[in-house]
Chains A and B, each alone.
Chain A
């Protein structure tokens, strides 16, 4: 390439002694041209974020550092320049957007103040001029009412607005390179689509080279010109987006791409006539109450679940999809009686379990179990795996021997070694922990499994394994499942029927294929349209 902005050649990044591997990144060679988008794709631990930080000179020195190689940026080697020069480059010539818009902005400074800082440190302008530029920038990133947002604090903005403000800051000095480290991972799909469009619009105007780090192949398909796939610190494959996505050569890339769930719903199964769970007009509100000694105004009332009615047939998987704050997790917790709903009925085997108190509920617990989202938080770090799985049956009246036999059987079913019995949860990886969580839920032989985003904390290849495990178990045990997810690709592959939630209400229900083919509600249409990588189908 004749016109190269950035050329990384043979870079090694070393990790402190005693780490899992010696080098976080090994022999990395990447280049970037103006106006080009290069996506670095990889699973967690592949070294993609450290690569980005190395460019900015933001590695956590002295433990982690570039031990070899050159980062050539417009003729300068960034591994050799002085700290002072690096400061000049940061922000003005290379800038960065981070994953968490919540934590990347300073909560006690106004948005305008934070943009102002960039100008103050890098160029000389009068205060009035700086303010004018700040408003202009916020307008450029299509924030509504920039004159007001300039004076607001980060907490007053939504997640998407904060990420827009971050982009405004990153682009303030028209940098030559923009590094985006998973900038849309924490955002909802509809917001993600807007942010991706914004980044590519800005790029077109300023001819910025964009280094985009992501784990989502849908996003890659939408924005990348070229792709670099990383595994364990090595770039295993680079090439144009078409070549890598449609004709992958390296086995790892092939495996990764085949793990991406397809957007085409799987063939529908026959629906059973037998209803196992009915949720009728359930409501749940938060806040509003005041405590015993707490005088003054009652807090704001949030209607998390509003008049929700769903029906689950035997052997069926019902997907509840929606964006963050739609009340889907609250609904799951009401169904499983982790929270008491305000009104409405939850009918399990002909009994309204909302009326049961704690003690009366205990025998019903066995019928309905839950798989949690975060495999790192859902297992008690101080309890051995065997005990975690075994305690359910014991509480429900099984003898020690029965429970132990059942535990060993379950470990086998979820694909874990029997030696796991005497080990602690921290000795297992995220995917293995999720298997333990599933085994715990299955230990009571439930009829219904409520899965709250069971795969969203996992890498895509492990996600596939867990989904196929759930599928296998469902068939084997004739389980009915309520599957909560925000990922429509996952929903398409797992669910027989879908319920789309927004602001606590179900806006649409129907068979998965019907909803994907002919969405009735405008919100469902928006959601489907926002799924990244629609035009790409492996």
Chain B
């Protein structure tokens, strides 16, 4: 663990990313403390500039506090990113592990199913899914999960294919170990590093998809989100730039931070890259 941290901290930008990410998480967790009111609550001061009338980042066309929206939106974004990623990783690992381990017909069937999902452009697929189910937090999570698990399945399948013929796995067979145990206890720990890396990068993508959906009006109408704020402020862009800009910056730095952390994890966990340094 110490060793891991040493390698991770060698990558300066990854540490910076981690700091920003921690800040975002911190803001999200104290959102209800610093802005105890509903972010949808409107005041009598529409279109206040940043700093005016007690609005730190200004207010929008009907007087909602932009800063409050960003803080509460951070909670939404991170939560959706995390849950959707966990679900996608779970499904992907199950599909990939079974396909890679059993091979043959099982592999053929599971991988053709995976390919069906991969052939549909992911964002359009997500829009379609949310439009069919009614827009809500759950439907957004489901949509993001459905479009992002195939990548994990592909990755895990490759890792399992390579591990399957390693001698230590064969040794487990000769001991009479069950398939389930070999996959879970012997093979899976050996491909955790790439799964962690792809998972961390998927959180960033999930946040982008969520914002995109909210921008198109397909987010949960009762939950504040960055995409919703941008969508709401875009018609005012020329008179009140701050409504769109600050949520946009929030998305930008959060996604950037997560990507930097993901890169750092990749450098620290990937043994092939490690040799190069």
User: 12 A-B pairs, CB-CB below 8 angstroms?
Assistant: A291-B104, A363-B176, A365-B174, A366-B176, A370-B170, A372-B167, A378-B170, A382-B190, A391-B177, A392-B175, A395-B176, A396-B176
Query: Which residues of chain A come closer than 8 Å to B108, judged between CB atoms?
Result: 291-293
Q: Is the Cβ of A379 less than 8 Å from the Cβ of B175?
A: no
CB <8 Å contact, B176 and A370: no
Could you tell me the distance between the alpha carbons of A338 and B178 in the complex, rounded to whole angstroms? 13
A444: Cβ under 8 A from any B Cβ = yes
Point out the residues of chain B lying under 8 angstroms from A362, CB to CB: 176
A336 interface contact, C-beta 8 A: yes
Q: Which 8 A-B pairs have the closest CB atoms?
A: A378-B167, A365-B176, A382-B189, A362-B176, A292-B108, A372-B167, A392-B175, A380-B168
Starting from the known contacts A338-B173, A372-B167, A441-B174, 16 additional A-B residue pairs (CB-CB under 8 Å) come to: A291-B108, A292-B105, A293-B108, A293-B112, A361-B176, A363-B176, A368-B174, A369-B174, A373-B167, A378-B167, A380-B168, A380-B186, A380-B189, A383-B189, A392-B175, A440-B171
Q: Would you give the 0/1 interface string for B165-189, flagging 1 where the beta carbon is closer than 8 Å to chain A?
A: 0111011111111100000011001
A136 vs B172: C-alpha distance when bound (angstroms): 53
Q: Is the CB of A372 within 8 A of B175?
A: no
Tally of A interface residues using CB under 8 Å: 32
- Main DSSP-derived SS at the A contact region: loop
> Quick one: CB contact mask for A359-397 with B, threshold 8 Å, 1 for yes?
001110110111011100111111100000001100110
Q: Closest CB of chain B to A519's CB: distance in Å?
A: 32
CA gap between A292 and B108 in the complex, in Å: 7
- Report the nearest B residue to A446, measured CB to CB: B174
Which residue of B is nearest A336, CB measured?
B174
CB pair A372–B171 under 8 Å, yes or no, is yes
Among A333, A379, A391, A437, max chain B CB count under 10 A is at A391
Do A380 and B176 touch (CB < 8 A)?
no
Instruction: List residues of B whose CB falls within 8 A of some A CB.
Output: 104-105, 108-109, 112, 166-168, 170-178, 185-186, 189-190
Task: Decide if B186 touches A365 in the complex (CB within 8 Å).
Answer: no
Report A-chain residues with C-beta under 8 Å of the C-beta of B170.
333, 338, 370, 372, 378
When the two chains form the complex, which single residue of B105, B168, B174, B177 contacts A379, counting CB atoms closer than 8 Å? Answer: B168
B32 to chain A, nearest CB (A): 41
Contact of A383 among B173, B178, B186 (CB under 8 A): B186
Chain B residues lying within 8 Å of A369, measured Cβ to Cβ, are 174
CB A379 to nearest CB in B, in angstroms, measures: 5
For the complex formed, measure the closest distance between the CB of B7 and the CB atoms of chain A, giving whole angstroms. 14
Question: What residue in chain A is nearest B106 (Cβ atoms)?
Answer: A292
Q: Tell me, in angstroms, the Cα distance from A513 to B166 when the chains sit together.
A: 36
Q: Is the CB of A374 within 8 A of B189?
A: no
User: Chain B residue with minimal CB distance to A369?
Assistant: B174
Residues of B contacting A336 with CB < 8 Å? 174
A378 touches B168 (CB 8 A): yes
A373 CA / B171 CA spacing, docked (Å)? 11
A430-449 CB mask vs B (1 if < 8 Å, else 0) is: 00000001001100100000
Taking CB atoms, residues of chain A closer than 8 Å to B174 are: 336, 338, 365, 368-370, 441
| Chain A nearest CB, measured from B144 CB (Å) | 29
User: Nearest chain A CB to B189's CB is how many angstroms away?
Assistant: 4
Residues of A within 8 A of B112 (CB): 293
Q: Per a CB cutoff under 8 Å, which of A365, A377, A382, A391 touches B167?
A: A377
Q: Would you call A444 and B175 a contact (CB within 8 A)?
A: yes
Asked whether, in the complex, the Cβ of A395 is within 8 Å of the Cβ of B168, the reply is no
Q: Which of A323-342 contact B (CB under 8 A)?
A: 333, 336, 338
Q: Name the residue of chain B whose CB is nearest to the CB of A393.
A: B175
A365 contacts B168, CB within 8 Å?
no
- Interface contact A391-B168, CB-CB below 8 Å: no
Contact present for B175 and A395 (CB under 8 Å)? yes
Q: Which of B109, B166, B178 contacts A377 (CB 8 A)?
A: B166
When the two chains form their complex, are residues A378 and B176 in contact, meaning their CB atoms are under 8 A apart? Answer: no
Question: Which residues of A have CB within 8 Å of B109?
Answer: 292
A132-161 CB contact bits vs B (8 Å, 1 = yes)?
A: 000000000000000000000000000000
Distance A116 CA – B186 CA, assembled complex (angstroms):
50
CA distance A440 to B185 in the complex (A): 17
Residues on the B chain within 8 Å of A361, using CB: 176
Residues of B within 8 A of A396 (CB): 175-176
Chain A residues with CB under 8 A of B185: 383
Residue of B nearest to A380 (CB): B168
